[in-house]
Structure 1
Amino acid sequence: MSKQLTVLTVCCFFLTIASNAQVTSSIDTTKIKIGEQITYKIQVEADTTDLVVFPEGQTFMPLEMIESYKVDTTKNNARFKLIKKYGLTQFDSGSYMIPKQKVVIGTKTVFTDSLNVEVFSVAVDTTKQNLYDIKPLIEVEKGASNWWIYLLIALVSLGLIGFLLYWFIWRKKPLTEEEEIAMLPPYDRAKLALKKLDESNYLQRSELKDYYSELTFIIRKYLDEKVYDRALESTTDELVDRLNMLKDASQIELSQTDIDNIETILKRADLVKFAKSAPDIELARIDRDTIDVEIDQVKEALPEPTEEEKLLNKQYKEEQDRKKKREKIILTVCASILILVATYVGFGLKYGFKYVADTIIGNETKELLEGDWVKSDYGVPPIMISTPVVLERIELQAIDTIQQVKRTAFGYGDLDSAFNIGVGTTQYNLPEGEEIDINGAVEETIKSLENNGARNLLVKQEQFITPNAAEGLKVFGTGEFPTDVKDQYRSGEYLILIFVADDKSVMQKVALIWNNEDEYTNQIMDRILNSVELKKVEE
Structure 2
Amino acid sequence: MNTRISASIQGFKAEVFLLLFILLSFSTLAQESVVKASIDSSEIKIGEQITYNIEVETDSTKLVVFPEGQTFNPMEMVESLGADTTKIEDRFKLLKKYKLTQFDSGSYSIPQQKVIIQDRQFQTDSFLVEVANVKVDTSRQKMYPIKPAVKVPEAFSIPTWVWWLIAFLLVLGIVFYLLRRRKKKKEAEPELPPYEQAMLALQQLDNSSLLEDKEVKEYYSQLTFSIRKYLDRKIYDRALESTTSELITYLELRKEAGDLSLKDKSVQDLQLILRRADLAKFANSRPDVITAKSDRKKIEHLIKDVRQVVPEPTEEELMKDEKYRREKLQKRRRNRVIAAVAGVLVVVLVAVVILVNTKGFTYVKDNLLGHPTMELLEGDWIRSEYGTPPVNITTPKVLIRKEVPRNEELQQMLLGSESFAYGSLESNFYTLLITGPVSQKSNFKLEKAVDGIYENLEAQGAKNIIMKEEKFTTLNNAEGIKVFGTFDLENPVTKGPIKKEYAILNFGENGGFQQIMMVFDEDDEYAEEISRRMENSVELKRQAK
Length-normalised TM-score, structure 1: 0.53
Secondary structure in structure 2 of the residue aligned to 1:497: strand
Structure-2 change in CA distance of 1:257 and 1:511 (3 Å)? closer
Give the letter aligned to residue 205 of structure 2. Answer: L
**Aligned partner (choices 186, 198, 209) of residue 190 of structure 1:** 198
**Higher relative contact order by CA 8 Å / sep ≥ 6: 1 or 2?**
1
Work out the CA distance in 2 between the residues paired with 1:275 and 1:412: 93
Query: Corresponding residue for 2:130?
Result: none
CA drift of 1:299 comes to 0.8
Please say if residues 271 and 277 of structure 1, whose CA atoms lie closer than 8 Å, have aligned partners that are also in contact.
Answer: no
Query: Corresponding residue for 1:470?
Result: 478
Query: Corresponding residue for 1:427?
Result: 437
Deviations 1:451-499 (A, max 9, x none): 4444554443321122443222223333345665799864434433222
The question of 1:328 aligning with 2:336 is answered yes
Work out the CA distance in 2 between the residues paired with 1:404 and 1:241: 110
The question of 1:372 aligning with 2:380 is answered yes
Work out the CA distance in 2 between the residues paired with 1:356 and 1:266: 64
The question of 1:180 aligning with 2:184 is answered no
CA drift of 1:375 comes to 1.6
Query: Corresponding residue for 2:513?
Result: 507
**Aligned partner (choices 531, 534, 538) of residue 537 of structure 2:** 531
| Number of residue pairs the alignment of both structures matches | 364
**Aligned partner (choices 186, 204, 210) of residue 202 of structure 1:** 210
Secondary structure in structure 1 of the residue aligned to 2:505: strand
Deviations 1:423-444 (A, max 9, x none): 233324637xx96433322234
Work out the CA distance in 1 between the residues paired with 2:277 and 2:436: 114
CA drift of 1:421 comes to 2.1
Higher normalized helix content (fraction of residues): 2
The question of 1:295 aligning with 2:295 is answered no
Work out the CA distance in 2 between the residues paired with 1:460 and 1:415: 20
**Aligned partner (choices 370, 380, 383) of residue 391 of structure 2:** 383
Secondary structure in structure 1 of the residue aligned to 2:189: helix
CA drift of 1:390 comes to 0.9
Deviations 1:215-240 (A, max 9, x none): 3443354345544656886559x977
Give the letter aligned to residue 497 of structure 1. Answer: L
Query: Corresponding residue for 1:356?
Result: 364
CA drift of 1:212 comes to 4.7
Structure-2 change in CA distance of 1:330 and 1:522 (3 Å)? same
Give the letter aligned to residue 492 of structure 1. Answer: K
Secondary structure in structure 2 of the residue aligned to 1:425: strand
Structure-2 change in CA distance of 1:341 and 1:296 (3 Å)? same
Please say if residues 229 and 239 of structure 2, whose CA atoms lie closer than 8 Å, have aligned partners that are also in contact.
Answer: no
Please say if residues 202 and 211 of structure 1, whose CA atoms lie closer than 8 Å, have aligned partners that are also in contact.
Answer: yes
Structure-2 change in CA distance of 1:378 and 1:321 (3 Å)? same
Superposed, which structure 2 residues align to 1:139-158 within 5 Å?
none
Work out the CA distance in 2 between the residues paired with 1:536 and 1:335: 64
**Aligned partner (choices 414, 417, 440) of residue 427 of structure 2:** 417
Secondary structure in structure 2 of the residue aligned to 1:523: helix
Query: Corresponding residue for 1:338?
Result: 346
CA drift of 1:374 comes to 1.3
Please say if residues 392 and 539 of structure 2, whose CA atoms lie closer than 8 Å, have aligned partners that are also in contact.
Answer: yes
Deviations 1:106-131 (A, max 9, x none): xxxxxxxxxxxxxxxxxxxxxxxxxx
Please say if residues 252 and 303 of structure 1, whose CA atoms lie closer than 8 Å, have aligned partners that are also in contact.
Answer: no
Work out the CA distance in 1 between the residues paired with 2:278 and 2:424: 97
Deviations 1:131-156 (A, max 9, x none): xxxxxxxxxxxxxxxxxxxxxxxxxx
Q: Percent same amino acid at aligned positions? A: 37
The question of 1:442 aligning with 2:450 is answered yes
Query: Corresponding residue for 2:527?
Result: 521
Work out the CA distance in 2 between the residues paired with 1:202 and 1:276: 13
Give the letter aligned to residue 189 of structure 2. Answer: E
Quote the RMSD (CA, aligned, Å): 4.7
Work out the CA distance in 2 between the residues paired with 1:216 and 1:284: 11
Superposed, which structure 2 residues align to 1:127-166 within 5 Å?
none
Secondary structure in structure 2 of the residue aligned to 1:414: coil
Bigger shift: 522-531 or 413-422?
Answer: 413-422
Work out the CA distance in 1 between the residues paired with 2:210 and 2:401: 100
CA drift of 1:388 comes to 1.5
Deviations 1:266-313 (A, max 9, x none): 788789887655354xx7556544533432222112244578866765
Structure-2 change in CA distance of 1:380 and 1:193 (3 Å)? same
Name stretches of at least 5 consecutive residues in structure 1 with no aligned partner: 1-163
Query: Corresponding residue for 2:418?
Result: 408
CA drift of 1:361 comes to 3.6
Secondary structure in structure 1 of the residue aligned to 2:288: coil
Work out the CA distance in 2 between the residues paired with 1:276 and 1:493: 91
